[in-house]
A and B are shown apart, each in its own frame.
Chain A
Amino acid sequence: MAKIGVYIYTGDGIAEAVDVEKLIKVATKAGAAVAKSHADLYSPEGVAMVKQDIDAEGLTAISLVGMSPRYEYKTFDFPGVYLDKTGIRELVAWSHRIDPSDEKADSKKEHVQELAEDYVRMAVAKLQKVQMPTPDKLEAPNTRILVIGGGVTGMTAALEAADAGYDVTIIERTAALGGYGMQVRKQIPMGPDYSTLVNPVAPALIEKIKSNSKITVKTETEIARIYGAPGKYRVSLKAAGAKSEWDAPMPLTPEEKLDANGKELSAEDQKKVYAAKNEGRNDYMVEDANGELFGAVILAAGWKPAIPAEGEYPHLAWGNPNVLTNHQFEQLAKAGKLKRPSDGKEIKTVAFVQSPGGLNDDADFPYTSAVTTMVSLKQAKYVREDYPEDGKAYVLYQHMRTPGQYEYFYKGLQDDAGIFLSKGAVTSVKDNGAGGLTVTVEKTLLGDNITLDVDVVVLATGMLPATKDEAVVNLAYRQGPAFRDLDLFGGYCDSNFICFPYETRRTGIYAAGPVRRTMTIEESMEDATGAALKAIQAIKAAEEGHAVHPRTWDFDYPDFYFQRCTQCKRCTEECPFGALDDDEKGTPKPNPTRCRRCGTCMGACPERIIGFKDYNIDVVGSMIKSIEVPDDDEDKLRMVVFACENDAYPALDMAAAKGLGWSPLPRIIPVRCLGSVNVAWIKDAMSSGLDGVLLLGCKFGDDYQCHFIKGSELADRRMANVAETIKSLGMEPERVKLVQIAIDEYDKVPGVIDAFVEEIVGMGPNPFKGF
């Protein structure tokens, strides 16, 4: 049984907002062995006071009731003592300010006091249930790093990891290192003078790789399968293009699970189809004893140039030998002075076409971005380099995309007398009968529709990510060999662009370079450095037994009570990170080092057999049940708000700090992710007489902001089912609601809560109140 200490901070307006003495009594009544207040709790004196109590009273769990858990998170650290924080400063004092001249001030004060008392009860209830997490350390994890792809990105990542002391193996599908970096004439400058192109960086990187004893290079090699988990990957390599018994098995597509009439096949039949599909391949759960061991993987598989199909873009004369893609033009430039392949004529005038849609559509070519804009500018400079006297390059764009420092490059090139830039719609390219092409551009900056006679036209076509058409990583995972939902992102290896670049949906595998988004060689190098660091972190995390980003401090991992598992497979299928494999029967097989500790499996489990030591069905259920529900006061309805601690909870903190307030009726419980919210908690809430449940989570969809990718989306799906259950009980399904909140929407979130409260008040009390 935990011996609990509750410490109430009275500074920052808390003492003025609530009766602290009463809170201490509530804590004691709820079961705290020690309950005290301190006006300067987070000072050395405050820390010393708590320390003294721990030593004198043998406290095992401490609750700091005061600042939001997001502040002062390193001030208290007592080894062996469980530490929890409840932010009544933000959730009570700052968000429920009362104007003393208000005639209802007394009744409002009563509400606020009850709110604070409930938070104290919830804090004690939580500590009564939690256990101290113990790290699950991987014994002797393998620390070698596998780099897939020997281009500039892969080479940079390898060098960075090697410099940090790690052994690296680069596998490269082609016969030589260098990738696209060896196929370019020049690169875009990253420093002054911005108008002069610089020599390619790849040859120097290759030299460095060759002389680095920590780096092994395997060319003409690719992945058959990656088995295992961070810190203990077992990788089966094979000759590029070859078949292998270790090729990762392919799961059935939704279509393959249906019979000829569109009905779902039985489990037995599905197994047969699966076996036929993967004949000659070992089951995904079989480990290749001859495979190489690695701790983490960097995916730098790069891209390939998009080539329009035959007959595509007829108005741009695609198919005419003098209409080239940017890739073909780069090859010409690399080969020497620009000469037309069709007749050997000097290429002195070039039109670079950025956007193929003419007047109908201003989009650039597919799979393009700022990079293709800059490549056009770079290639325009080739024309000027080769023919400084009379070379002319026209860059015809709908979007001039030169972000960040590249703006200097754009400005530098703009100053060149022979480079002409205009926004406009390229409506036709035609053979001009004189060996060249006539380009018609409408809606130009010149105010007219213009025609240009040029030697060649260059189309700014895109960069197709390597993951678009093949799995590349070939994982031997329950969820299949490839990254999931690639079609959401056009085949780009998924990673959260803003918050967590490099992080794929497979822990321990970090993407860098154009495989995750179009980028320049310079950006790829920076990216590679980031991914190398991430790979090292993943190995370290496996060694120390804690999670990787975004819960790096977390030493806990999910426990499964397998005896009660019904093999429903929800957890194995829903885990956003593919952390769970399974056996023949479908019993989940956890891989703790793949797990990010979001709790999505816990939220999914209908048997409630998955949980963490300090975050499980019982812990949160007890917090809900500790809320005091007045059963005869219609003014004192009670709701619970599950707020995602990544975005929604910080938004609430910010709202409170900005002086915004909300209704005192709901009690807020932070959750790791809405994906971890189990339907059991909703039932607990409704059966405890609470009148409504609001879930505040991250945005989902193709521009999702969920830190665990699918959590809020899964919660939304589950709540739809809950609504049915509530309806069957004769209650309004609107009593449970999910709202998406971005971290910067602090100005919106109080309104969301108040609107929900108003809705519930309109419905009246929970009919089961008091039962």
Chain B
Amino acid sequence: MGEQQQMQPDLSFIKGVMASGGETVKKCYQCATCSVVCPLSTNDSPFPRKEMLWTQWGLAGRVAGDVDVWLCHQCGDCTKHCPRDARPGDVLAAIRINAIRYYANPKALADVFNSPGGVVGAVIAAAVLVLVVAAIWSQITGNAFPFPLNHEGKVEYHEFLSVIPIDAMVLPIVAWIIYVLYNGVSRFWNDISKGAGLPESFSGTYPKPSIGLLLSKYLGPAVMEILSHSRFQKCGQTAERARGHLLLLWSFIILFAVTNYVFIAEDLFHAALGLISKVTPLPLYHPVKLAANVGGIMLIAGILMVKSMRTQKTQEGVLSSAAPDWVLIWLIFAVGATGIGAEVLRLINIAPIAYPVYTLHLATVIVLFLSLPYGKFGHLIYRTTAYVFQRWADDVKAGKAGFGLEKAVGASH
């Protein structure tokens, strides 16, 4: 007689997955066709059959400790070949949404950031916040409100809200996001460490890598894989989805870089330290501005490709989309559209429309990033973590890392 597992199905977990796009999970009858056809599944730990089974049985703990959930890109090969229409790809997507919620805090915000109504409400709330701060700011600067013009009589967002109030508003939010994510990712790491079948020490503890080791040895290759989307492109049914997603990813990287340039140059060196004169708005020929505009266009193009691919693949029946998928797509689209819109309206100088659009841009950006620990956007963090974990865990299992071995391994490199 082997080891016995006490089963205590968590009904709320099953219902949660079924309610967020995984309503077919109970149909699975364990034939394992999915694991066989999955182009991303690994030999050592094939998926998604086991995830289907665990979810059917409400084994929330096992699913939470399962890194394979995050190695799935919802290719839809399993869904296409499933003889019972249990749609494993969609179920795993729902599991991921639930996993993000599981690691989020407070969890109620996950419901907000995964529902269209919640996100619209959040954008409105953020817009009100921006307007309130802008109104207060206008009292301090004495600028007109809500449609201030600069000395040339033109729209200039600096007049509406300079970097100081923006940072005052955004930096605490960023700090909160980092706090929640750090919390969630460490719990996630612990869970997948337990679930990955890593060798235990005599004291029953699992190996734990140092942050330094992860950053130096494992993050780099994982990020390279993500930047090339080499894994996503292995998808059979939906490899085309990787193209739009890759474009989108690169647009985020470009926009992240230009935002950081502006943050450092304008917010830090100019506004905070007074080392240089005001840099924004950048002239259109400025390389950073060029990059920003290219990034903005890439973002719009990327998200539209993602959307049309998702629509097409949904029609083909190889994947289905739940609210969190569309919420994220429309939110990113809104960020891009309001960003480009604000710039164009500023240039053609239509203040009554430009400032509301700018307000919406700030609001959608805030909501997008605030959704990082709560909504589908969180896959950026958790999937990256999973990629890093998988590389490290493979080394541990091969005896190349863990319990201090990494030092020796590191030395040999």
- Point out residues on A near B: beta carbons under 8 Å: 389-390, 392, 411, 414-420, 422, 427, 440, 442, 445-453
Contact = CB atoms under 8 A, between A and B. Distances in A.
Most chain B beta-carbon neighbours within 10 Å: one of A415, A446, A448? A446
Interface string B5-29: 1111101001100100001001101
A440 B4 contact: yes
A451 B2 contact: no
A415 B27 contact: yes
Contact of B26 (A415, A427, A448): A415
A415 B4 CA distance: 26
Contact of B3 (A427, A445, A448): A448
A451 B11 contact: no
A446 B57 contact: yes
A420 B4 contact: no
Given A420-B57, A445-B53, A392 B6 contact: no
Contact of A418 (B3, B11, B53, B54): B11
Contacts of B27: 411, 414-415
Nearest to A440: B4
Contacts of B6: 450-453
Nearest to A359: B1
Given A392-B9, A417-B26, A420-B9, A442 B1 contact: yes
A726 B90 CA distance: 76
Given A414-B26, A450-B5, A392 B53 contact: no
Contact of B53 (A389, A415, A446): A446
A420 B54 CA distance: 11
Nearest to A388: B11
8 contacts: A414-B27, A415-B23, A417-B11, A418-B11, A420-B58, A446-B7, A449-B3, A450-B5
A-B pairs, top 8 by smallest CB distance, nearest first, are A417-B14, A448-B5, A415-B26, A449-B4, A450-B7, A449-B2, A450-B5, A451-B4
A449 B3 CA distance: 6
Interface in B53-67: 53-54, 56-58
Given A415-B27, A416-B26, A451 B7 contact: yes
B34 to A, nearest CB: 15
Interface string B273-302: 000000000000000000000000000000
Contact of B2 (A418, A422, A448, A452): A448
Between B11, B14, B18, the greatest number of chain A beta carbons within 10 A of the residue's beta carbon is seen for B11
A419 B7 CA distance: 13
A414 B1 CA distance: 29
B11 A392 contact: yes
A452 B15 CA distance: 20
A452 B7 contact: yes
Contacts of B30: 445
Contacts of B54: 446
Contacts of A451: 4-7
A450 B4 contact: yes
B26 A449 contact: no
A625 to B, nearest CB: 63
A326 to B, nearest CB: 22
Given A446-B54, A452-B6, 11 more contacts: A389-B11, A392-B11, A411-B27, A414-B29, A416-B26, A417-B11, A418-B11, A450-B4, A451-B6, A451-B7, A453-B8
B5 A420 contact: no
A411 B5 CA distance: 27
Interface of B is mostly: mixed
A265 B5 CA distance: 65
A440 B2 CA distance: 11
A278 to B, nearest CB: 57
A496 to B, nearest CB: 33
Contacts of B9: 392, 420
A440 B11 CA distance: 21
Contacts of A389: 11
A548 to B, nearest CB: 45
A303 to B, nearest CB: 31
Contacts of A440: 4
B142 to A, nearest CB: 60
A452 B4 CA distance: 10
A409 B18 CA distance: 19
B18 A417 contact: yes
Task: Specify which of A418, A419, A440 lies most central, judged by the most chain B CB atoms within 10 Å of its CB.
Answer: A418
A451 B6 CA distance: 5
Contacts of A390: 11
A411 B54 CA distance: 18
Nearest to B7: A450
B1 A449 contact: yes
Nearest to A418: B11
Contacts of A452: 6-7
A449 B5 contact: yes
Contacts of B3: 448-449
B347 to A, nearest CB: 55
B19 to A, nearest CB: 10
Interface in B118-157: none
A420 B11 contact: no
Contacts of A445: 30, 53
A383 to B, nearest CB: 12
A449 B2 CA distance: 6
A683 to B, nearest CB: 61
A182 B53 CA distance: 38
A293 B108 CA distance: 77
Contacts of A417: 11, 14-15, 18, 26, 58
A445 B32 CA distance: 11
Contacts of B8: 453
A411 B29 CA distance: 10
Among B4, B15, B50, find the residue whose CB has the most chain A CB atoms closer than 10 A.
B4
Nearest to A414: B26
Contacts of A418: 11, 14
Contacts of A419: 26
A389 B54 CA distance: 20
A417 B12 CA distance: 9
Nearest to B15: A417
A19 to B, nearest CB: 59
A447 B5 CA distance: 10
B9 to A, nearest CB: 6
Nearest to A428: B1
Contacts of B11: 389-390, 392, 417-418
Contacts of B58: 417, 420
Contacts of A415: 23, 26-27
Contacts of B15: 417
A422 B57 CA distance: 10
A448 B4 contact: yes
Contacts of A450: 4-7
Contacts of B53: 445-446
A415 B372 CA distance: 32
A449 B1 CA distance: 8
Nearest to B57: A420
B58 to A, nearest CB: 8
Contacts of A448: 2-5
A446 B5 contact: yes
B27 to A, nearest CB: 6
Nearest to A422: B57
B4 to A, nearest CB: 5
A448 B5 CA distance: 7
Contacts of B23: 415
Contact of A420 (B2, B29, B50, B56): B56
A440 B5 CA distance: 9
A48 B45 CA distance: 79
Nearest to A391: B11
Nearest to B50: A447
Contacts of B18: 417
A448 B1 CA distance: 10
A418 to B, nearest CB: 6
Contacts of A446: 5, 7, 53-54, 57
A445 B53 CA distance: 8
A594 B4 CA distance: 62
